[in-house]
A and B are shown apart, each in its own frame.
Chain A
């Protein structure tokens, strides 16, 4: 029968081994050779766009790369799906954005400047080129597929 000492050893050794493996895998997967995000394309404009994304807690409603609020549309491929003009129109709208065919949901009016909207577009463009291990072909609605409305 397992003794308390053996149980403690199982806990300590198991934790140490898996923790070291986790650190090793983190270093490996974040190394430059394994980069799937095209980090070389992160321009100043993309960074400004990301800061706007964070500052306004867009993730509180939308999702990006499948992470977020599940309340408003997934934005990983939004530029391909809607085009730059539509996206900028939504971001620069001085009144809450709402569509008659989308029920009662509306978006906070961010009333962004042209420069801010351009930075957001650059951020979305960078996101849309990330290799998401196949998720980019599932995430809805598919940019390249016909949307079944």
Chain B
């Protein structure tokens, strides 16, 4: 940590950890319901649990991205954040909006549009919150001594993410148009601009952890984000195959979404090569685990598993089945959750001044969480493939198929327990570091 204002990042990361814990609880409720144990139905029906589970994911990742930006931008721009007070106001308002939305979901207060369930009045508050955040980041960058590619790519990702929230607020009478523009937000976030955010954080971490020349890393960052947009924008078409729009999307979506793994492959090769090339051996091994791990797991989860069902010929059978959940879990974990864990692991010792760089508990957290998530992915995959064959090929009734695949959700719950143990250990490490302090500046400068 080089600037006092970077400390504000800690509280965004703490909010992330809190919301992640809650997300896991609702994930278990859904897992048990799928396994035939829906005892909480009268208080938390499945649609409530699902809305809470997915929205908490989005909010804790956004909180993590915001924390990452508050940590990275001052260091890259060589300037204190323009207003720490406003950053705290933004944090508290983000937490309040998130909590209000989640409570509302338990009382049928939502929009009922997958991933964008947040009620309209709260949408406007989200817009104000994000405007405040972007204002702080952009003014800090503008007043800074330098503007690096890493900072620009990260800021561009955040700015585009903010702008792309707006199409999700359009009202349509047609379910087809509603769905069409909902993907402008959801797809162009997770398979577009969020990859810029991931790329920016990855680039910052590789510069710090490997010591490879900034010019080399940032050159490849441009190539990666170039590949991301080249494939990802038109790759939106894979959501348009079967929702009632023109067949042209079968061709366009098919071709460009087949190219989407290239960006993730480039990201994985980039991270591993920079690590090998680096002469500096940073003592923060845990941060390195999460950084390289994120690049590799995102390639498997988002790249390979996405490709597995993205072609129209396959997707016509897998569309709307548990196969999507298989891809979704490993993709979000690898690409976005792990990169947030990486920046937390890197920045925490710098903000607190306590150099817990390489503990056994930290490594165990990494392996348990990753093996647990891989196990969950396999359980979803087996359930999904079985569902496709029984329901779409054998023409069995939907609910009868669900009863047949319940057993796979028992496996899912076991693997999710392993995953949650890893996350718990990570959070214990987070708490053990203590809170950020200005004295950390002196420790870092020694």
Residues of A within 8 A of B (CB): 2-4, 7-8, 10-11, 14-15, 18-19, 21-22, 25-26, 28-30, 34, 36-37, 39, 42, 46-47, 50, 53-61, 63-74, 96, 99, 101-106, 108, 123, 127, 130-135, 138-142, 145-149
Known: A14-B230, A18-B229, A67-B320. A57 touches B51 (CB 8 A): yes
Cross-chain contact B399 with A73 (CB below 8 angstroms): yes
Please name the residue on chain A nearest to B244 by beta carbon: A130
Cross-chain contact A57 with B223 (CB below 8 angstroms): no
Cross-chain contact A132 with B395 (CB below 8 angstroms): no
A60 → chain B closest CB, angstroms: 3
Please name the residue on chain A nearest to B396 by beta carbon: A148
Please name the residue on chain B nearest to A99 by beta carbon: B399
B229 interface neighbour in A15, A37, A39, Cβ under 8 Å = A15
B residues 372-416 near A (Cβ < 8 Å) are: 391-392, 394-403, 406
How long is the Cα–Cα vector from A130 to B218 in the complex, in angstroms? 47
A4 contacts across to B, CB distance below 8 A: 149, 215, 218-219, 222
A135 contacts across to B, CB distance below 8 A: 241-242, 316, 319
Cross-chain contact B241 with A133 (CB below 8 angstroms): yes
A103 contacts across to B, CB distance below 8 A: 36, 399, 402-403, 406
A68 contacts across to B, CB distance below 8 A: 114, 320
Answer yes or no: B446 CB below 8 A from chain A CBs: no
Known: A7-B219, A96-B41, A105-B399. A134 touches B226 (CB 8 A): no
Cross-chain contact A133 with B47 (CB below 8 angstroms): no
B residues 192-236 near A (Cβ < 8 Å) are: 215, 218-220, 222-223, 225-227, 229-230, 233-234, 236
Cross-chain contact A141 with B395 (CB below 8 angstroms): yes
B234 interface neighbour in A21, A34, A73, Cβ under 8 Å = A21
Cross-chain contact B252 with A58 (CB below 8 angstroms): no
Cross-chain contact B399 with A102 (CB below 8 angstroms): yes
Known: A73-B399, A140-B398. A10 touches B226 (CB 8 A): yes
Answer yes or no: B128 CB below 8 A from chain A CBs: no
Answer yes or no: B273 CB below 8 A from chain A CBs: no
- Total number of B residues with any Cβ neighbor in A under 8 Å: 79
Cross-chain contact B245 with A134 (CB below 8 angstroms): no
A39 contacts across to B, CB distance below 8 A: 174, 176
Known: A70-B322, A74-B398, A127-B175. A106 touches B51 (CB 8 A): no
The winner among A10, A14, A46 for most chain B CB atoms within 10 A is: A14
Known: A29-B246, A29-B248, A140-B398. A57 touches B117 (CB 8 A): yes
A140 contacts across to B, CB distance below 8 A: 391-392, 395-398, 401
Residues of B within 8 A of A (CB): 30, 33-34, 36-38, 41-42, 45-48, 50-51, 108, 110-114, 117, 149, 173-180, 215, 218-220, 222-223, 225-227, 229-230, 233-234, 236-237, 240-250, 252, 256, 316-317, 319-322, 324-325, 391-392, 394-403, 406
How long is the Cα–Cα vector from A73 to B391 in the complex, in angstroms? 11
Cross-chain contact A108 with B45 (CB below 8 angstroms): yes
A15 contacts across to B, CB distance below 8 A: 226, 229-230, 233
Cross-chain contact A37 with B174 (CB below 8 angstroms): yes
Cross-chain contact A105 with B244 (CB below 8 angstroms): no
B257 → chain A closest CB, angstroms: 12
B219 contacts across to A, CB distance below 8 A: 2-4, 7
B112 contacts across to A, CB distance below 8 A: 53-60
B222 interface neighbour in A7, A50, A58, Cβ under 8 Å = A7
A71 contacts across to B, CB distance below 8 A: 30, 33-34, 46, 50, 402
Cross-chain contact B225 with A29 (CB below 8 angstroms): no
A25 → chain B closest CB, angstroms: 6
Please name the residue on chain B nearest to A63 by beta carbon: B320
Cross-chain contact B242 with A29 (CB below 8 angstroms): no
